[in-house]
């Protein structure tokens, strides 16, 4: 079946540090890949997505590239801010799943300190 593995946190960084959150997946065929973010007290929001190999998703300074050869979709940001403190979820959907359900990783909690 489909699965997503992401680095477990928590991750604590100083403001302006470089961020990488690793995500690898197992899926049949060509999944679509997503990063969702959950800010404190809020629901999940889509951060970025990529729907085919070598696509790069980007938003709010975050980037992730769909790497089929390594089955990875690592999230990066060059300079984090305190406002980026949140829980980040890597997820995928597969067109072969019969339904377009999201399969999630466990989530990585990021804390950015001033």
Partner 1 sequence: EAGVTQFPSHSVIEKGQTVTLRCDPISGHDNLYWYRRVMGKEIKFLLHFVKESKQDESGMPNNRFLAERTGGTYSTLKVQPAELEDSGVYFCASSPGQGASTDTQYFGPGTRLTVL
- Residues in touch with partner 1 (CB under 8 A): 4, 31-32, 34, 36, 42-46, 49, 51, 89, 91, 93-95, 97-107
Which lies closer to partner 1 via its Cβ, residue 9 or residue 17? 9
| SS3 state at 84 | helix
3-state DSSP assignment of residue 83: helix
Q: What is the rounded CA–CA span in Å between residue 3 and residue 12?
A: 26
In the complex, the smallest distance separating the C-beta of residue 21 from partner 1, rounded to whole angstroms, is 15
In angstroms, give the least distance from the CB of 46 to partner 1.
Answer: 5
Task: Choose between 59 and 85: whose C-beta lies nearer to partner 1.
Answer: 59
How many CB atoms are closer than 10 A to CB 35? Answer: 26
Give the nearer residue to partner 1 in terms of CB position, either 62 or 89.
89
8 vs 16 by CB, closer to partner 1: 8
- Minimum CB separation of residue 17 from partner 1 in Å reads 27
HSE toward the beta carbon, residue 75, CA cutoff 13 A:
29
Q: C-beta of 51: minimal distance to partner 1 in Å? A: 4
Which helix (H) or strand (E) segment holds residue 91: the answer is strand 86-93
Sign of the four-CA dihedral 3, 65, 76, 36: negative
């Amino acid at each position: 079946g489909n699965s997503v593995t992401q680095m477990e946190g928590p991750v604590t960084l100083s403001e302006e540090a470089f961020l990488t959150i690793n995500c690898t997946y197992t899926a049949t065929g060509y999944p679509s890949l997503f990063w969702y973010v959950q800010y404190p007290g809020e629901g999940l929001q889509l951060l970025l997505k990529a729907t085919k190999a070598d696509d790069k998703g980007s938003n709010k300074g975050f980037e992730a590239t769909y790497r089929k050869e390594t089955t990875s979709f690592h999230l990066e940001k060059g300079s984090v801010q305190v406002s980026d403190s949140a829980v980040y979820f890597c997820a995928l959907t597969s067109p072969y799943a019969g339904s377009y359900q999201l399969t999630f990783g466990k989530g990585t909690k990021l804390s950015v300190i001033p």
